Structure 1
Amino acid sequence: MKTIYLTFFLLVAGLATIMAQPVFIDGGVRAGGLMCFPVYGDSLSYRYLPSRGRLAINDQNLPEFSFLRYATAKNPDPKSINSISEADGGGLVHFLVLYDTPDDQIRQAESELRIKFRNPKINLLGPVFFTKGDYVVVSSVLGQNGKEEKKLIGVGQAPVFENSKVAFSFMLNPLEAQLLMESFKMATPDVSIMFDLTFSGVTQAYDAEVEVNWSMVEKNEYYHEKTNILFYSSEVHKSFSELHKTGAIKIRTAGKDSLMAQILDATYEKLLNMMFNPVKPSEIPLDQKKGFMEEIFGTGGLAGLGLFGASRTYILKELKTEGKSTVSLNSYSTVERRHLITFNVGNIFEKYGKDKRVFRDVTLEDPVFQQRDVLVNIDGDLQSAFEDIVKSAAISFRKDHQNGRETIREVFLTKNTLSENEGRIAMSYLNQEDKDRLKWLDYQYQVQWNFGAEGNYQTGWIDQNTPIINLYAPYKRHVINLDADADKLKAENIRAVSIQIEYDFFGKKKQKRLTVKPGDDLSTKFFDLTLPIDQQSVDYSITWIRNDGSKETINDKDEYGLIFLDEIPQK
């Protein structure tokens, strides 16, 4: 298994900007080779999905790519009779990639939109706002057996802004370095990257409702005794189709039959949020990586734009609900969709094979002159968090040398320092009479998080020996959506519903409140919370206020990100 190091650097924007201009999913149209969506509520403004991925180019018009092969001496084998033998060593590959859209393609798409809709005032504003992203790095030549089979060599979180660079670095043993070099000499080097990007948009309302029979769901073969087992995207889709066929899911509609495909998508979107939690590619167990690869690059090829992304995996929630639930689709809804971008690094050796700035072989022998760099890998979600949640993060580094000396380093990160470092943040130390080469790799680090008025959090000292410190935000985003049958609320003489959320953020109690009236557009009513990474639930209370002024209140916990407001307690 290769060790992957990645550093993101991008222009960050606040969450408020992202949420300000949702696109209208049902209005998507292809123009100039781009998939374009109108901005919700503004038929003259469109946004597009980026069309390509590529290697980044530096100021010298060179690809931001380097392949260093190195050799080190090793002790001779006393049993060998050969005077020439193989040395130790390996390789280090480092490159920066991004996804973008050519300017001429954007202009062409805007022109076609104006012609198609016969309106010269239509503007293509820019790319859609992605809310999250994953990357997958694949090669078929990095295996020990030399066979050309697809192999996953890196997964992680991708930047959410177009033209943002992602830096990849991975170490190779001598055989792997040789195989990769031979691959680069081919016309199409077999190193490919896939971006799986998620964006939000609005879908239209449907004259339909969905009834879920939880007893039948639990008896289904897909869910019986399936807790803590991974579901791939295709399995989730297949399971929903099976539930629909068996009657565990019933869809009642008075609309047009031609809209059934869209109604099914809206239904599956609701069920996905109610029944599954997403699993990041980096969290997939090692013994299930092969299945993950087959899911992505199987005989059916990569999945396109849709609800179920190619690299998505899920785990089933504990379905504690009994009886039946009814979900209405009669209001505009905010949904998630995925966009996939794949590309190959290209014939880089043919163009730059003789350029020592790109391909280089070196010999490393004397430890006295060696320096070790420990890179800091900034998670993609953490980049945007420095805009509105994290004020600073201080990484303290400690290395105890074998001669009794100590090396101390510290990196202080803010929004400004992230952009100034252009993707490379590192701490270095020298060899100070460290005779044991493996122990020389050991070090410790800790992180002090500052959330401003929201508080502080400090990790303990963490033992590490890899050349990368993965810096992840110690919290997660938790969205709680609200759902209700407006007619049922009116029938119960409900004038308004007040929902209060209470949760802990690193020792500080926080509260949020929303008020909903029958007939409100619930797609605009939700809680967007920031929770500690290990917190699984939040407390909430619901108060129903009747027309006569009487009130009913319940207290409960949310684990699933969905609260039903029409389950009114009976007096």
Structure 2
Amino acid sequence: MSRVLSPRVLPAFLPWPASRVCNRCHPASSVAVRWQSGLSRLAICLGFFVAALGISEGPASADDLLVDRGRQVEGLWVYPSLSEPSRWRYVPDHAELSRDDQGRPLFSLTFYISERTAEEENGSATSIVEAEGGGLLHFIVQYRTDPEQVEAAQAALRELTGDDEAEIVGSVLFDDGRYSVVTSIVDEAGQGERPLLMAQRPAPLMEGNRLPITAQLSAEQASMLLGSLQTATPDLSVVFEMTFSGLSQAFDAAMVVDWEKTRDALRASAGGSVYFVSADVEAVIDEAMQNGGIELRVNGEDAAMESLVEMVHARALDMMFAPIEVDEVPEEQRGDLLDALAGVVGRDGALSSGNTTGFGVHMGYRVKELRSEGETRLSFNKRARVERRAVLTVNLGEAAGLSTEDPETVQYVSTVDPATQLRRVYVSVDGDLERELGGFINAVTVTLRKDHPGNRETVKELIVRPETEERGSVHGPLTYSNVEREDEQSWLTYRYKTDWSFQGGGRFRSDWHPTEAAMITLTAPYHRHDVYVEGETDPLIDAGVRAVITEVVADFFGERQSERRIIRPDRPGETLAVDPITLTLPSGDFSYDWTITWAMDDGTRRKRSGHDDLGFLFVDELPPGPGDSEDDHAADDTAATQQEEN
């Protein structure tokens, strides 16, 4: 018996950085980005949630986890291995403020004072003036799990499963991770009513790795933060959102997309917007399910309906939207997106209520061009790779053991002679990029340029190569002086650019970027885009197709790349569940050229090509061949139109 379901939709989420060091934290470890002016209110308790994100089809590996068979024991979520069911892996339990060898929290708030004369203050002689200054915030966080908890979970797991060989062998292996810092001290309008997204940055992928965070504050912000730190739940929280993957079970079900109704749902929910946050994406998919644009058709009864619904949401997300970094959004539209992201973590937002989402805490999205026509049917009758998210949150309150009376935690310093100051700028490589150096990336050249008064300039260069890169290391510093005694604000400002050399000859040179950050974080100027080959083998066999050859070609900074897949529908057991074609494209670009060639049993060939960014190629819709009837031609013309629109 076949049932058509309109599943309910799940909830939504969100994230910040800055510059300098503390006495207990090595300066070369600082991940530094300028703290935006304005901060906002969020009291987040320690917590952890896991939610499905997306799916992709592909072969299983020996280390794959069975994500539908997870158990929660002693407060830990654990998942069994596909190849060795007695071997389990756990999801890290919590995030926390790191500590030194004496158990002291690695946290410092330094107030600095810049002296000014009476004449500089108001042009008159007076004996007392107010000094200018600010604050430097530096702290280190990590996520981890207590070994005692793992041991207790293993004992409970053996009792629960009846398997005396059950063993928890370690943490899950994260594929990706992001962190965000959210606070609520003062926004630019002075309202202090909503949290601000302070950063979205890559997080360490290995449990126990420490993440240093630095921020430069105004004097007012530093004072307000100090007051907030004296409360039980100060306005300073760090959220880790980590992604891992495993295999789901197969379902006797299919997803049917009516493209016209889906576009109607998008127009109804989006208006004229191109950029979305996770909550908006959910609204679009929910509307598409309500108006019949997306249907889930299930044969018989399926007990694992929640997993099936999550897969439908993930596939709909892949077909309609592409994830995008805030930095990739045009400046004139970036403010609206940041406001929308910040709203998700407000007092009434999804994060404040403890909800999780399949679409990500940190994510912004760009709408794809939906040019397909008619209906598309996607089957779930085979195992699929499913992504899961672990959200780990720490609030730097009493639980972190901070004491504002400790001179190592709160310090006051005075800047003396600016001419003796030397600015140090470090270069860090995010976790994903570390794995690419020496493989896809030959080297990255970072050039710093500082313009001084009197038309003097300082130019420094640093090359990041595989032989200079060590996991977790920070490069540099690149330095410049302040002999001209510039005011501190202008002296901190410099420009930098990056020059990327890729294997195969590709090259990318960025524009000059002005910044005040003490850390330049290298992030890849490219992304991976999967193109899935979809269709049914029976129509191909009936049409006399011996083989289907799909080829995708794309531009990568002046170099052409191509990938090919061959399918033999007449082979026993042959399916279209081949690995996706993975393209490496410049950031913000999802387009490619495609060609599908059908080799027929009679020796003839049929071919169709086009340009697209959808991420799906449907190969069971053949173009008309010689000798087809008028009805066949009409049907094939319709199929051709649909494929061209793709």
The alignment's TM-score, normalised by the length of structure 1, stands at 0.88
Match of 1:361 in 2: 412
Match of 1:32 in 2: 74
- Taking the aligned partners of 1:19 and 1:342, their CA distance within structure 2 comes to 31
- 1:489 aligned onto 2:540: yes
Aligned residue for 2:373, secondary structure, equals coil
Cα 1:361–1:542 change in 2 (3 A) is: same
Aligned residue for 1:84, secondary structure, equals coil
Aligned residue for 2:198, secondary structure, equals strand
Aligned residue for 2:156, secondary structure, equals helix
Match of 2:609 in 1: 555
Match of 1:68 in 2: 110
Aligned residue for 1:383, secondary structure, equals helix
| Contact 2:249 2:382 (8 Å CA) reproduced | yes
Which deviates more from structure 2 when the two are superposed, residues 75-84 or residues 549-558? 75-84
1:88 corresponds, among 126, 132, 143, to 132
Match of 1:331 in 2: 382
Cα 1:570–1:127 change in 2 (3 A) is: farther
- Taking the aligned partners of 1:40 and 1:533, their CA distance within structure 2 comes to 35
Equivalent residue letter for 1:505: F
Match of 1:409 in 2: 460
- 1:214 aligned onto 2:254: no
Q: Deviations over 1:240-266 (max 9, x none)?
A: 233223222233221315344333222
| Contact 1:227 1:318 (8 Å CA) reproduced | no
User: Following superposition of structure 1 onto structure 2, how do residues 165-204 of structure 1 map, counting pairs within 5 Å?
Assistant: 165-204=210-249
- Taking the aligned partners of 2:401 and 2:175, their CA distance within structure 1 comes to 37
The alignment's TM-score, normalised by the length of structure 2, stands at 0.78
- Taking the aligned partners of 2:448 and 2:302, their CA distance within structure 1 comes to 63
Cα 1:567–1:106 change in 2 (3 A) is: farther
| Contact 1:129 1:199 (8 Å CA) reproduced | yes
Residue 521 of structure 1 deviates from its aligned partner by: 5.6
Which deviates more from structure 2 when the two are superposed, residues 344-353 or residues 360-369? 344-353
Cα 1:57–1:480 change in 2 (3 A) is: farther
Aligned residue for 2:237, secondary structure, equals strand
2:180 corresponds, among 136, 140, 147, to 136
Percent identity (aligned)? 31
- 1:513 aligned onto 2:555: no
| Contact 2:234 2:396 (8 Å CA) reproduced | yes
- Taking the aligned partners of 1:435 and 1:312, their CA distance within structure 2 comes to 39
1:264 corresponds, among 276, 290, 309, to 309
Equivalent residue letter for 2:561: K
Residue 341 of structure 1 deviates from its aligned partner by: 0.9
- Taking the aligned partners of 2:196 and 2:269, their CA distance within structure 1 comes to 32
Q: Deviations over 1:95-122 (max 9, x none)?
A: 2222122222222222222222222222
Residue 431 of structure 1 deviates from its aligned partner by: 1.1
Q: What is the aligned-residue RMSD (CA, Å)?
A: 3.2
Cα 1:400–1:283 change in 2 (3 A) is: closer
Residue 298 of structure 1 deviates from its aligned partner by: 4.6
User: Following superposition of structure 1 onto structure 2, how do residues 128-527 of structure 1 map, counting pairs within 5 Å?
Assistant: 128-143=172-187, 145=190, 147=192, 149-220=194-265, 222-223=267-268, 226=271, 228-280=273-325, 285-299=334-348, 301-302=350-351, 307-347=358-398, 351-386=402-437, 388-403=439-454, 405-415=456-466, 417-419=468-470, 422-423=473-474, 425-435=476-486, 439-459=490-510, 461-518=512-569, 519-520=573-574, 522=576, 525-527=579-581
Q: Deviations over 1:26-85 (max 9, x none)?
A: 122212211122223432222222111112234454433221110112343437897433
- Taking the aligned partners of 2:16 and 2:113, their CA distance within structure 1 comes to 19
- Taking the aligned partners of 1:546 and 1:80, their CA distance within structure 2 comes to 93
Aligned residue for 2:175, secondary structure, equals strand
Which deviates more from structure 2 when the two are superposed, residues 561-570 or residues 215-224? 215-224
| Contact 2:438 2:465 (8 Å CA) reproduced | no
Residue 369 of structure 1 deviates from its aligned partner by: 1.6
| Contact 2:16 2:201 (8 Å CA) reproduced | no
| Contact 2:135 2:217 (8 Å CA) reproduced | yes
- Taking the aligned partners of 1:394 and 1:269, their CA distance within structure 2 comes to 38
Cα 1:304–1:109 change in 2 (3 A) is: farther
Cα 1:387–1:103 change in 2 (3 A) is: farther
Cα 1:2–1:562 change in 2 (3 A) is: closer
Equivalent residue letter for 1:567: E
Equivalent residue letter for 2:219: P
Cα 1:93–1:437 change in 2 (3 A) is: closer
Residue 427 of structure 1 deviates from its aligned partner by: 1.8
Cα 1:102–1:283 change in 2 (3 A) is: farther
Unaligned runs of 5+ in 2: 1-14, 20-29, 33-57, 626-646
Which deviates more from structure 2 when the two are superposed, residues 380-389 or residues 345-354? 345-354
Which deviates more from structure 2 when the two are superposed, residues 179-188 or residues 451-460? 451-460
Cα 1:510–1:151 change in 2 (3 A) is: closer
Residue 557 of structure 1 deviates from its aligned partner by: 2.6
- 1:540 aligned onto 2:554: no
Residue 177 of structure 1 deviates from its aligned partner by: 0.7
Equivalent residue letter for 2:587: I
- 1:116 aligned onto 2:160: yes
| Contact 1:99 1:162 (8 Å CA) reproduced | yes
Which deviates more from structure 2 when the two are superposed, residues 201-210 or residues 141-150? 141-150
1:44 corresponds, among 61, 86, 90, to 86
Residue 531 of structure 1 deviates from its aligned partner by: 1.8
Aligned residue for 2:86, secondary structure, equals strand
Higher relative contact order (CA 8 A, sep 6+): 2
Aligned residue for 1:220, secondary structure, equals helix
Q: Deviations over 1:340-373 (max 9, x none)?
A: 1111123389655455443311001321122222
1:567 corresponds, among 613, 621, 640, to 621
Cα 1:493–1:257 change in 2 (3 A) is: same
- Taking the aligned partners of 2:345 and 2:132, their CA distance within structure 1 comes to 35
Unaligned runs of 5+ in 1: 9-15
Q: Deviations over 1:495-514 (max 9, x none)?
A: 43222222233333322222
Q: Deviations over 1:502-560 (max 9, x none)?
A: 22333333222222344546555112222222533122222233445543222223412
- Taking the aligned partners of 2:263 and 2:455, their CA distance within structure 1 comes to 61
Residue 169 of structure 1 deviates from its aligned partner by: 1.2
Cα 1:183–1:92 change in 2 (3 A) is: same
Q: Deviations over 1:296-326 (max 9, x none)?
A: 3453643556523333332322211122111
| Contact 1:52 1:101 (8 Å CA) reproduced | yes
Residue 281 of structure 1 deviates from its aligned partner by: 5.1
Aligned residue for 2:300, secondary structure, equals coil
Cα 1:47–1:552 change in 2 (3 A) is: farther
Match of 1:4 in 2: 18
Aligned residue for 2:262, secondary structure, equals helix
- Taking the aligned partners of 1:517 and 1:318, their CA distance within structure 2 comes to 31
Cα 1:354–1:451 change in 2 (3 A) is: same
Q: Deviations over 1:278-303 (max 9, x none)?
A: 23355572234333223234536435
- Taking the aligned partners of 1:562 and 1:535, their CA distance within structure 2 comes to 16
